[in-house]
Amino acid sequence: MAILRFRIYLEEDDSVYRDIAIRHTQSFLQLHQTILKAYEFDNKHQSTFYRSNDHWQRGREISFEKYDKPYKVPPLFMADTTIGSEIRNPNEKFIYVYDFVKNWSFLVELINVSKEENSKYDYPVVVKTEGIGPSQYGTKGLVGDKLAEVEEKYDLTKGAEGFGTEGGDDVDDDALGLGDDVAGTDDATEEV
């Protein structure tokens, strides 16, 4: 059974992408669901795939359902269309559009075809994640778990090696190698 590996990236930023492995017998509906999960989007909005060429021009639609809009030809449906039936060349391309109001556009590119399944995976599966994906509704930042991990690892208030303790602006004279000579400097000048 052929395993197809697709790279899905934002239309305006190809440095943020997700690689998804899927069986050629699985449907576009399963690919659609996996893309949404990979980018942490909900499943509440309209969506469609377009067949594409090397210039990312939109061709025939493979839609979630028939929407109230004009079609040049009737769309195929995601649930009824297997991915393998739409693969015509080794670097096949699709455009995936989610939420027609916000118009999230993703470029979907076939990057690998393998004959062997990995028994550890339950297909379709996200096999690689690169970059921080966009937030579907507003801002998503590093303030979540990632920043908290950094704060825990590098908390300078815990007397880490080479740093003073919290509120400790005192300089340890012994640590600087000055010892008692510094304290007795005034006394030494008075005797002379």
110-147: pLDDT as tens digits = 999 999 898 899 999 999 999 988 888 765 444 444 44
Whether 119 maps to a domain, the answer reads: yes
Whether 96 maps to a domain, the answer reads: yes
List Cβ neighbours of 28 (8 Å cut-off, separation of 6 or more).
49, 62, 76, 78, 79, 81, 82, 83, 86
Total domains in the chain come to: 1
Whether 72 maps to a domain, the answer reads: yes
8: domain CATH number? 3.10.290.30
Query: For residue 107, what is the enclosing H or E element?
Result: strand 104-114
Whether 67 maps to a domain, the answer reads: yes
Contact 16, 129 (CB under 8 A): no
List Cβ neighbours of 58 (8 Å cut-off, separation of 6 or more).
50, 51, 52, 95
57-92: pLDDT as tens digits = 999 999 999 998 888 899 999 999 999 999 999 899
Whether 7 maps to a domain, the answer reads: yes
Whether 8 maps to a domain, the answer reads: yes
Contact 162, 168 (CB under 8 A): no
Domain assignment of residue 15, given as a range: 3-130
Say what the pLDDT of residue 133 is.
86
Whether 108 maps to a domain, the answer reads: yes
Q: Of 33, 124, 25, 32, nearest to 84 (Cα)?
A: 25
